[in-house]
Amino acid sequence: MLDLEAQKHVVDGKLRCWLDIDINDSRAAYQRAVNFVAAKNLAYSLTSNWLPELGGSELKRVKEQLYANDFEWSGRGRCAVKMPPQRIYVEVWPEVAPLAVENFVALLLGNRGKGQESGCEMTYKGCHFHRCIKGFVAQGGDFVKNNGSGGECVFPGKKQGFKDDAAGLKVKLGERGMLAMGNSGKNTNTSQFFFTFGDVSRLTGKHVGFGQRDVDAPLREQLVGGAEVLAIMEQCAAPEGDDSGRPAYPVVIADCGVCGVHEPEPMAWAPPAHLTAHAASSTRTVCAVDSTAAAERTESNAVLRARARYTRANGTVSRTSQKQAAAAAAVAPTRPKTAAANAALPAAKAAADVAGASQWTKLKTAARTASSSASIPLAREPAVSAAGVAAVPTADSASSEASGSGAGAAPAAARSIAPPAERAAAAVSASGARRRKSLPRRSDAAPPQYLCPVLGEVMTDPVTTCDGHTYEREAIEMWFRTYAERYPLAASAPSPVTGAMLASTALVSNIALRQVIETWREGREGLGG
């Protein structure tokens, strides 16, 4: 009996099924190209991290230059930047050939477990077309040995195969795309079947015909290329003189099922889950995907031009300088404002023991004044004097730095009190302080200004999304208005935009907004963010 789920989808005595045909390992080659672009798009300055969104020149560059010259990736196998047609839809006739259809549908669904005779999983998935003859047939279905010498039906106790359907033997196999059972004689049907490449009427009455390529669905065929799949299979036919009929390239059933029961989108349609929130329910055609990608690339280029205009007008800090500054900041943290005063106090106190309390008070005040006048990051260890002792800033250096006149401007009383070794150490420390003075102070640096990636203007009312990315509030609202027709989620969003509303995972996963985020990240680095 036909599978219960499949019975629900029989319409006018017809049941629609599908097979994804993988020719010459194209699916794996295409997936390698998808993974390569996702991993290397920034390194090679590609316009997108999703392969189908790249332009024709970029696809050619990826295949012929980037992938081929990448030692690590090219060693994994060939890549294919375009997915060839792979899905073919067929209609089967349960009323004409009930046994053949039940057997065929059960093997498409793969829900009968393992075969009693072979012990193999009873499914067409992964099964090879072992015989392809131009102008004749493409035969497959031997899931046991994949060479045409095996096969097993789903009916228990039918080791030699099930009997022929009388009405199915009357089906004329006189046109391209007919579906019939393969056998080794009368009533020896197992799991092997074949598609016809032309008029093979001489097989009528010898093989049970139970279906054909779905010619009543032109729109579906146009989108997934069912007719083209048969043509490509025929191109893989065995060369002339090869009696085995083995195809020149592997032809494999990568996936299969029954429409309405199990029907995922073809591999070439499905975008990565992190690029769209509606991958499972997407109904966009291939043309719609291409036009959407082109529009979003145009928007991304406009953002880049706006960022360039801002760069020319305001100037930027190079990425190399930013990295050097970040490394220096990590190695040399800022010393607190009181650190210079605390370091100067021991030497000043030693001098006060000789000069008296009044001189001590004067030097202490000068040291504190010097430390509070400049808060500068220290990028090196304290200098070492000729005596091998770390040179600590003394009252001489502190008071001279405070007055801005250098080491030679220290008060005469301080110079007369400090020993020669300490005066030498103070001179070394003072020279280092003068060099540090030439650096810009943090307090004088202008606050960073970030460019909104959508408006191309400096943000005045920023809004932070749930991933931590910042946009101008007006830009987010504009984005909603722009994509209201394309993305229903954006059309239903409340206004004004709030940070809580932006926490929607589906929203930040949209292709357009993610591209804007990536562009904004690059712009932020270029603006010294």
Q: Look at residue 245 and give its three-state secondary structure.
A: coil
| Residue 22 bridge partners (DSSP) | 252
Question: Tens digits of per-residue pLDDT, 348-387?
Answer: 555 555 544 454 455 555 555 554 444 333 333 344 443 3
- Please answer whether residues 263 and 42 qualify as being in contact, where contact means their C-beta atoms are separated by less than 8 angstroms: no
Question: Tens digits of per-residue pLDDT, 166-193?
Answer: 999 999 999 999 999 999 999 999 999 9
Q: What angle do CA 438, 377, 401 make, to 5 degrees?
A: 55
Q: Residue 415: its pLDDT value, please?
A: 42
Q: Tokens 């880049």 sit at which residue?
A: 304
Q: What angle do CA 316, 320, 324 make, to 5 degrees?
A: 110
Cis peptide bond N-terminal to 496, omega within 30? yes
Q: Residue 83: its pLDDT value, please?
A: 81
104 a catalytic residue: no
- Please answer whether residues 213 and 177 qualify as being in contact, where contact means their C-beta atoms are separated by less than 8 angstroms: yes
> Worst-scoring range by mean pLDDT, 45-49, 250-254, 282-286, 415-419?
282-286
Which residue out of 27, 128, 207, 246 is catalytically annotated? 207
Q: Residue 52: its pLDDT value, please?
A: 86
Question: Tens digits of per-residue pLDDT, 212-265?
Answer: 988 765 455 444 556 788 888 999 998 888 888 999 999 999 999 998 887 887
Q: Look at residue 383 and give its three-state secondary structure.
A: coil
139 a catalytic residue: yes
Q: Residue 528: its pLDDT value, please?
A: 43
Bigger pLDDT: 493 vs 340:
340
Specify the amino acid at residue 429.
Answer: S
Which residue out of 131, 176, 246, 514 is catalytically annotated? 131
What is the mean pLDDT of the segment spanning 146-158?
93
Which residue out of 2, 59, 169, 203 is catalytically annotated? 203
Fold for the domain defined by 86-258? Cyclophilin (2.40.100)
Range list of H helices, 41-133: 56-61, 67-69, 71-74, 98-109
What would the DSSP string read from start to end of 290-323? HHHHHHHHHHHHHHHHHHHHHHHHH----HHHHH
SS (H, E, C) 363-376: HHHHHHHHHHHCCC
Q: Residue 8: its pLDDT value, please?
A: 85
CB neighbours of residue 186 within 10 Å: 11
Bigger pLDDT: 107 vs 409:
107
In the chain, domain spans: 86-258, 278-316+447-529, 337-439
- Dihedral sign for Cα 505, 508, 509, 510, please: positive
Q: Reply yes or no on whether the pLDDT at 198 is more than 80.
A: yes
- Give the tokens for residue 18: 């599908």
Which residue out of 183, 212, 359, 515 is catalytically annotated? 183
423: Cα separation from own chain's centroid:
63
> Worst-scoring range by mean pLDDT, 148-152, 159-163, 219-223, 403-407?
403-407
Q: Reply yes or no on whether the pLDDT at 106 is more than 90.
A: yes
Rounded CA separation 253/335 (Å):
69
- Give the tokens for residue 522: 């690059």
Specify the amino acid at residue 258.
Answer: V
Q: Reply yes or no on whether the pLDDT at 61 is more than 80.
A: yes
Average per-residue pLDDT for the chain:
70
194 a catalytic residue: yes
Q: Residue 179: its pLDDT value, please?
A: 97
Region of 410 please: left (phi>0), alpha (psi -120 to 50) or beta: beta
274 a catalytic residue: no
2 a catalytic residue: no
| Residue 211 bridge partners (DSSP) | 92, 179
Bigger pLDDT: 475 vs 428:
475
Task: Produce one character per residue of 270-309: b if its CB has 16 or more CB atoms within 10 Å, e if not.
Answer: ebeeebbbeeeeeeeeeeebeeebeebbebbeebeebbee
Q: Reply yes or no on whether the pLDDT at 49 is more than 60.
A: yes
Q: Tokens 């027709």 sit at which residue?
A: 485
Task: Produce one character per residue of 22-37: b if its CB has 16 or more CB atoms within 10 Å, e if not.
Answer: bbbbbbebbebbbebb
Rounded CA separation 40/48 (Å):
10
What is the mean pLDDT of the segment spanning 468-491?
59
Q: What angle do CA 524, 515, 59 make, to 5 degrees?
A: 120
Q: Residue 258: its pLDDT value, please?
A: 93
Q: Reply yes or no on whether the pLDDT at 331 is more than 90.
A: no
Question: Tens digits of per-residue pLDDT, 122-145?
Answer: 999 999 999 999 999 999 999 999
Give every CB contact of residue 439 below 8 A, 6+ residues apart in sequence: 376
Q: Residue 388: its pLDDT value, please?
A: 41
Q: Reply yes or no on whether the pLDDT at 18 is more than 80.
A: yes
Q: Residue 147: its pLDDT value, please?
A: 93
Q: Reply yes or no on whether the pLDDT at 109 is more than 80.
A: yes
Which residue out of 24, 41, 139, 359 is catalytically annotated? 139
Which residue out of 129, 136, 193, 195 is catalytically annotated? 136
> Worst-scoring range by mean pLDDT, 82-96, 102-116, 291-305, 452-466?
291-305
Which residue out of 129, 194, 197, 210 is catalytically annotated? 194
Q: Which of 409, 411, 414 is nearest to 430 (CA)?
A: 409
